[in-house]
């Protein structure tokens, strides 16, 4: 009997302890429950497999889609630093609702992001560059993006692509939010994606790292699709689906947002 209760206590203890990930473990997450394709499929196949309406759609990951050489050369970090290091970029706080902006030299941003994991618990205190280039440096970014070939799909009535370039250090990312449909391709580094059709349980000011380590286990979540993307991989995020991202390495990526 005594032995038996020790066993039960162990189980209970384990259940409590295992509702949390060790912080260093998130950087090696590789599981993927999102459907995968290993090359582009045609538009009809895309429509029938991944849909276009909110409730019929589902995410998909295209693995290892080649990025054209010319663009890859332009996008290398040393090349970007040499050409554009002195340009100012617009970085934004990584929280869900209240975006605060800051202008910073690309050089300074990159050196801050190259330091090992970004430590702040709060997204509203962490600045992140995810392609908000509307005010600064439109020209050089747009010139570079001209060489990028976006995924060849329309999603229902959403057909007009607009490109966004982003870069972030290990442990950075954007907490849950939603918008129109689109794609994102990793150029450098790995990124973990979390998607859900229903609103997940999260604190809009908390970083995705905090959520992934602790908060997600605190309450029952709606069904979460999750996957780690490697360089070359492309994810499709359906219209109005909640999604959050977490860079597992220093990352460079391109988003293609589709509008009506």
Ligand X SMILES: *[C@@H]1O[C@H](CO)[C@@H](O)[C@H](O)[C@H]1NC(C)=O
Nearer to ligand X, 76 or 98 (CB): 98
Look up residue 12 and give its two tokens: 């209970």
Q: Cα(27)–Cα(81) distance, rounded to whole angstroms?
A: 26
Does 108 engage in binding with ligand X (CB under 6 A)?
A: no
Does position 125 bind ligand X by CB under 6 A? yes
Token pair for 106:
């690309």
Q: Which stretch binds ligand X (CB under 6 A): 19-27, 56-64, 65-73, 120-128?
A: 120-128
Do the beta carbons of residue 158 and residue 256 sit within 8 Å? no
Q: Which of 124, 185, 247, 251 binds ligand X (CB under 6 A)?
A: 124
**How many C-beta atoms surround the C-beta of residue 97 within 10 A?**
9
Interface residue with ligand X among 205, 239, 255, 256 (CB under 6 A) is: 205
**Which CB atom, from 120 or from 162, has the smaller least distance to ligand X?**
120
Binding segment (CB under 6 A) for ligand X, from list 29-37, 117-125, 137-145, 220-228:
117-125
φ, ψ dihedrals at 186, nearest 5°: -85, 135
How many binding residues for ligand X (CB under 6 A)?
6
User: What residues pair up with 65 in beta bridges, in sequence order?
Assistant: none
Report helix, strand or coil for 229. strand
* Contact flag: residue 92 with ligand X (CB under 6 A): no
Q: If binding is defined by CB under 6 A, does position 122 make contact with ligand X? A: yes
- Inter-helix orientation angle 106-114/77-84, to 10°: 150
Residues 31-60 that bind ligand X (CB under 6 A): none
Q: What is the nearest approach in angstroms of ligand X to the Cβ of residue 124? A: 4
Nearest to 215 by CA among 190, 244, 189, 191: 244
Tell me the closest approach of the beta carbon of residue 32 to ligand X, in angstroms: 31
Under the binding rule (CB under 6 A), the answer on residue 208 touching ligand X is: no
Rule CB under 6 A: is residue 102 a binding residue for ligand X? no
Is residue 112 within the footprint of ligand X (CB under 6 A)?
Answer: no
Among 143, 204, 240, 259, binds ligand X (CB under 6 A): 204
List, in order, residues 6 or more apart from 100 with CB less than 8 Å away: 92, 93, 124
Q: What count of other Cβ atoms lies within 10 Å of the Cβ of residue 44?
A: 8
Choose between 55 and 97: whose C-beta lies nearer to ligand X. 97
209: contact with ligand X by CB under 6 A: no
What is the CB neighbour count within 10 angstroms for residue 96? 20
Q: How far apart are CA 256 and CA 132, in angstroms?
A: 13
| Site membership for ligand X, residue 98 (CB under 6 A) | yes
Under 8 Å between Cβ of 239 and 180: yes
Residues of the shown chain interacting with ligand X in the complex, contacts defined by CB under 6 A? 98, 122, 124-125, 204-205
């Amino acid at each position: 009997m005594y032995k038996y209760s020790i066993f039960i206590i162990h189980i209970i203890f384990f259940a409590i302890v295992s509702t949390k990930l060790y912080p260093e473990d998130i950087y090696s997450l590789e599981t993927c429950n999102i459907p995968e394709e290993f090359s582009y499929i045609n538009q009809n196949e895309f429509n029938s497999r991944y849909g276009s309406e909110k409730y019929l759609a589902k995410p998909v990951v295209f693995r290892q889609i080649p990025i054209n050489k010319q663009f890859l050369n332009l996008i290398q970090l040393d090349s970007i630093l040499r050409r554009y290091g002195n340009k100012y970029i617009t970085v934004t706080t990584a929280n869900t609702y209240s975006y605060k902006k800051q202008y910073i030299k690309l050089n300074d941003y990159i050196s801050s992001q190259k330091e090992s994991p970004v430590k702040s618990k709060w997204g509203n205190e962490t600045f992140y560059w995810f392609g908000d280039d509307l005010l600064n440096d439109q020209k050089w970014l747009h010139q570079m993006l001209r060489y990028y070939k976006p995924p060849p799909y329309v999603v229902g009535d959403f057909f007009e692509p607009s490109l966004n370039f982003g870069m972030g250090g290990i442990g950075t990312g954007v907490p849950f939010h939603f918008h129109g449909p689109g794609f994102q391709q990793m150029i450098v580094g790995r990124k973990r994606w979390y998607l859900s059709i229903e609103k997940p349980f999260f604190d809009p000011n908390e970083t995705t790292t905090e959520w992934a380590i602790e908060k997600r286990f605190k309450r029952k979540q709606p069904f979460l699709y999750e996957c780690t993307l490697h360089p070359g991989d492309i994810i499709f995020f359906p219209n109005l689906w909640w999604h959050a991202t977490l860079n597992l390495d220093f990352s460079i990526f391109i988003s293609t947002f589709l509008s009506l």
